[in-house]
A and B are shown apart, each in its own frame.
Chain A
Amino acid sequence: MSETDLAETTIRYSCMADLKVIRRRVASSKVRDFALALRRFERALADLRDDDYWTGCLRCMKTCRWVLCSRPVALNSEAAIPAETMATLRHTLNSGKAIFPRHVPYAEAVVSAIQVLVGSDENPLLDITVDLMRDRRHGRTALVLPSRVARDEVIRLAGARRELQDARVLVPSDLRAQQTFDAVVAFGAAQWYPEALFRAPPAPVIYIATYSWVPGGWSVGPLLCASSGAGGGSRVRRDVSVAEVGAYEPTEYDGGSALDIMPVHDFSLLLTRAPAERTTDSSHEEEVQARLFVLADSKAVLLDEATSTMVVDPFAETGAIVARISVRDVAPGMLLLLRTAGGGDYVADVANRILGHMAKQARDAQTLWKDRLRKEVQASDALQVALRLLDNGAEKANEVNVRNWCSYRSIKTQDHRDFRAIMKTIGLESVADEYWRLMTLIDSAHRSAGHYIRRRLLKQVKAVGPEALERDPVIEFELPDAAGGSMTALRVEQVAPTSYGVPYSRTGILFPSGE
Chain B
Amino acid sequence: MPVPAWARFFMDVGASATRVGAGSRAVTACVVPTRGFAASFAALGYLLERNAEMEAASSRAEHYRHLCELAPGTPVTVERDGRTYHGVLRGTVQVDGVRRLKVQTTKNLDTRSAPVGSGGGLTYLLDEEQGHSVALDHSPVPVVRLPAHQAGHHVEATPECLNLLYGKAPTAEVAQDRLDCLIVGSVSTLWSEWSAQLVGVESSTLRAVAACRLVDLLRVRRFVGSHGTYRSEIASSAEDAYPATDEKSPAVIYDGSAHFVRWYHALRGRWTCVIIDARRARLEEAVGIVNQEFQQRAGDWTLSNVGIPLGVEVMSYLVPDR
> Using a CB–CB distance below 8 Å, which chain A residues touch chain B?
2-6, 8-10, 12-13, 15-17, 19, 175-176, 178, 195-196, 199-201, 222-227, 230-238, 240, 317-320, 326, 328-331, 414
Contact = CB atoms under 8 A, between A and B. Distances in A.
A234 B34 CA distance: 20
In this complex, the member of A16, A19, A200, A317 whose beta carbon has the largest number of chain B beta carbons within 10 angstroms is A317
B313 A223 contact: yes
B258 A9 contact: no
A3 B189 contact: yes
A418 to B, nearest CB: 13
Contacts of A4: 36-37, 189, 192-193, 196
Contact of B186 (A9, A178, A318): A318
B281 A16 contact: no
B35 A317 contact: yes
Given A10-B6, A196-B278, A317-B186, A225 B311 contact: no
Given A9-B37, A224-B313, A237-B311, A326 B258 contact: yes
Contacts of A17: 309-311
Given A4-B196, A232-B294, A232-B317, A9 B34 contact: yes
A176 B283 CA distance: 13
* In the A-B complex, the 4 residue pairs with the closest CB atoms: A233-B302, A16-B311, A200-B33, A199-B278
B110 interface: no
Nearest to B38: A9
Given A17-B310, A232-B301, A237-B309, A227 B315 contact: yes
A323 to B, nearest CB: 9
A231 B294 CA distance: 10
A200 B309 CA distance: 13
Interface centre among B261, B314, B316 (most CB of A within 10 A): B314
B258 A329 contact: yes
Contact of A13 (B277, B309, B315): B309
Interface in B177-236: 186, 188-189, 192-193, 196, 198
A144 B6 CA distance: 27
Contacts of A19: 311
Contacts of B31: 199, 223-224
A19 B310 CA distance: 9
Contacts of B261: 328
Contacts of B241: 414
Q: Residue among A13, A320, A414 with the most chain B CB within 10 A?
A: A13
Nearest to A17: B310
Nearest to A317: B189
Nearest to B301: A233
A330 B303 CA distance: 34
Nearest to A230: B294
Nearest to A225: B291
Contact of A329 (B36, B277, B282): B282
Contacts of B295: 225
Interface in B98-137: none
Contact of B189 (A15, A222, A227, A319): A319
Given A10-B4, A200-B278, A234-B314, A226 B294 contact: yes
Chain B: number of interface residues, binned into ranges: 35 or more
B308 A178 contact: no
B300 interface: yes
A200 B277 contact: yes
Nearest to B295: A225
Given A13-B34, A16-B33, 7 more contacts: A2-B192, A4-B189, A6-B7, A196-B283, A223-B31, A326-B262, A329-B282
Given A232-B300, A328-B282, A6 B196 contact: yes
A58 B320 CA distance: 55
B311 A238 contact: yes
B287 interface: yes
Nearest to B240: A414
B279 A175 contact: yes
13 contacts: A13-B33, A16-B309, A196-B283, A199-B278, A199-B311, A201-B33, A223-B283, A224-B31, A234-B303, A236-B314, A317-B35, A317-B189, A328-B258
A292 to B, nearest CB: 16
B29 A224 contact: yes
Given A4-B196, A12-B36, A224 B294 contact: yes
A222 B186 CA distance: 27
A200 B310 contact: no
Nearest to B307: A237
B312 interface: yes
B10 to A, nearest CB: 11
Contacts of A15: 33
A303 B301 CA distance: 41
Given A199-B33, A200-B33, A224-B287, A232 B297 contact: yes
B290 interface: yes
A178 B36 contact: yes
Interface string B259-287: 00110000000000000111111110101
Interface string B233-251: 0000010110000000000
A497 B303 CA distance: 34
A426 B308 CA distance: 57
Given A236-B313, A238-B311, A326-B258, A3 B303 contact: no
B281 A329 contact: yes
A340 to B, nearest CB: 26
A232 B315 contact: yes
B317 A226 contact: yes
B311 A196 contact: no
Given A2-B192, A225-B291, A237 B312 contact: yes
A233 B193 CA distance: 30
Contact of A235 (B5, B189, B198, B308): B308
A176 B36 CA distance: 12
A234 B316 contact: yes
Contacts of A238: 310-311
A172 to B, nearest CB: 10
A233 B313 contact: no
A235 B28 CA distance: 12
B110 to A, nearest CB: 42
